[in-house]
């Protein structure tokens, strides 16, 4: 297996040239190549997160197996391009990255709906990327510490629950706000915590009663004893499709009381469905896209890959292939403007930006 090298892309990546200029600078081979063979080539996997975060961990885990299953077994170089919640990487992959199949990337699931929600700073249409697939469906868990008086969704509707939040774009602020506004929960959000680690400490100490979103994939690696020792009470799954670990815990579709509520919630929580997505830039030739997609699907069936994931406690539940992502995105962009406006209003975090 070839060595995986690591490079961190500096903040200069923020200065990205416009799409038209980038397109004119692409080599002719990048425009015309359709050879699905990467022998003796070096592929660059751009990671939208920082070294050591979730996106980085999943990317470095996937890279050697893509090396194994892609035609020609190319070398894979992992590069970190953090910034703006993976937005810097998403813009780079859309505007500047080579279109010859040698550059792929991983970005946040929110990339799927960023254009719908008019996210500031985006310069891409997610439907034009060539999606390779997603390693899982990210499941956020609304949870209470086991000593707290919250055992069901009904309890969340009847009494205030104090939860912790970090930045205004984080799910632990956005998601409880959405639940308060759409279905009538009574979360009291205390913001300013420096990430989920600090929130977890505050929950254990009794400073907080729980959290409005803790990703299951993070919990099983950073706080496995919470589940193993039943130290928490899972109350809601923040996902459109139930995780097999929590068959009796209600998820987002279970909470909607009207068709309108369901549409708004579906749109907001769609970002969870594509938990760890990988993509190629627009205009990558179809044979190269298909080679990447085929390799990705082979990785998901590779016994060594699955065994290593289990050993590392990496969640691979409800993955998606590239064709499934295409269908999923097409559905998202059919929502009426009235539903989109309500979803934007429900997820507004202006008060937490002051």
350 contacts: CB under 8 Å, gap ≥ 6: none
pLDDT at 8 over 80: no
Separation between Cα atoms, residue 251 and residue 255, nearest integer Å: 7
Range with the largest mean pLDDT of 29-33, 70-74, 80-84: 70-74
pLDDT tens digits, residue range 15-33? Answer: 333 333 344 444 434 434 4
Quick one: average pLDDT of 165-192?
90
CB 140 within 8 A of CB 175: yes
Q: What are phi and psi of 331, to 5 degrees?
A: -65, -40
Helix, coil or strand: residue 52: coil
- Phi first, then psi, for residue 339 (nearest 5°) are -65, -40
More confident residue, 109 or 101: 101
Give the pLDDT mean for 160-184: 90
Q: Do 140-270 and 5-136+273-335 have the same topology in CATH?
A: yes
Q: pLDDT-derived band of residue 354, with 50, 70 and 90 as boundaries?
A: low
Sign of CA pseudo-dihedral 267, 293, 61, 316:
positive
> Whole-prediction pTM value?
0.81
Query: Helix, strand or coil for residue 189?
Result: strand
SS (H, E, C) 92-111: HHHHCCCCCCCEEEECCHHH
Q: Is 80 helix (H, G, I), strand (E, B) or coil?
A: strand
Element (H, E) at 154: helix 153-158
Between residues 155 and 171, the one the model is more confident about: 155
CATH class of this structure's domain 5-136+273-335 = alpha beta
Q: What residue segments make up the domains of the chain, in order of their start?
A: 5-136+273-335, 140-270
Determine phi and psi for 13, rounding to 5 degrees: -60, -15
Residues β-bridged to residue 143: 211, 234
In the structure, what pLDDT confidence band is assigned to residue 165 with cuts at 50, 70 and 90? confident
Q: What is the per-residue pLDDT across 233-252, written as a single tens digit (0 to 9) for each?
A: 999 999 998 998 999 999 99
pLDDT per position as a tens digit, 296-352: 999 999 999 999 999 999 999 999 999 999 999 999 999 999 999 999 999 998 877
Q: What is the pLDDT of residues 105-135, one digit of tens each?
A: 999 888 988 899 888 888 999 999 999 999 9
Confidence of residue 228 (pLDDT cuts 50, 70, 90): very high
All residues at 6 or more sequence positions from 270 whose CB lies less than 8 Å from its CB, including other chains:
112, 113, 240, 328, 332
How far apart are alpha carbons 251 and 241 in whole angstroms? 7
String of DSSP letters for 213-266:
EEEHHHHHHH-HHHHHTT-EEEEEEESSS--TT-TTS-BHHHH-SSHHHHHHHH
One CATH from 3.20.20.120, 3.40.190.10, 3.40.1180.10, 3.30.70.20 for 140-270: 3.40.190.10
Query: Quick one: DSSP state of residue 333?
Result: T
Note the residue count of the chain. 354
């Amino acid at each position: 297996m070839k060595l995986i090298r690591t490079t961190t892309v500096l903040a200069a990546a923020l200065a990205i040239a416009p799409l038209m200029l980038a397109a004119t600078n692409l080599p002719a081979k990048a425009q015309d190549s359709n050879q699905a063979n990467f022998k003796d080539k070096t592929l660059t996997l751009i990671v939208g997160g920082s070294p050591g975060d979730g996106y980085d961990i999943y990317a470095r885990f996937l890279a050697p197996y893509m090396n194994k299953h892609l035609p020609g077994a190319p070398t894979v170089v992992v590069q970190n391009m953090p910034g703006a919640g993976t937005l810097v990487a998403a813009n780079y992959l859309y505007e500047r990255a080579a279109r010859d199949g040698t550059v792929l990337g991983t970005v946040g699931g929110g990339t799927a709906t960023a254009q719908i929600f008019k996210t500031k700073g985006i310069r891409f249409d997610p439907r034009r990327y060539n999606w390779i697939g997603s390693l899982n469906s990210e499941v956020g868990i609304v949870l209470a510490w086991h000593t707290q008086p919250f055992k069901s969704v009904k309890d969340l509707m009847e009494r205030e629950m104090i939860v912790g939040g970090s930045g205004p774009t984080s799910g632990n602020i956005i998601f409880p706000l959405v639940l308060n506004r759409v279905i009538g929960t009574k979360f009291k959000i205390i913001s300013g915590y420096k990430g989920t680690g600090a929130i977890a400490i505050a929950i254990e100490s009794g400073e907080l009663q729980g959290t409005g979103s803790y990703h299951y994939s993070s919990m099983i690696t950073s706080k496995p004893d919470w589940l193993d020792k039943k130290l928490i009470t899972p109350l809601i799954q923040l996902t459109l499709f139930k995780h097999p670990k929590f068959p009796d815990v209600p998820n987002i579709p279970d909470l909607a009381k009207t068709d309108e509520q369901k549409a708004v919630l579906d749109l907001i929580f769609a970002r969870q469905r594509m938990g760890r997505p990988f993509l190629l830039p627009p205009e990558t030739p179809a044979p190269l896209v298909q080679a990447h997609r085929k390799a990705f699907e082979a990785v998901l069936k590779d016994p060594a890959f699955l065994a290593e994931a289990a050993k590392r406690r990496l969640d691979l539940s409800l993955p998606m292939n590239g064709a499934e992502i295409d269908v999923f995105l097409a559905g998202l962009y059919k929502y009426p403007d009235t539903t989109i406006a309500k979803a934007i209003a429900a997820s507004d975090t202006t008060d937490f930006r002051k």
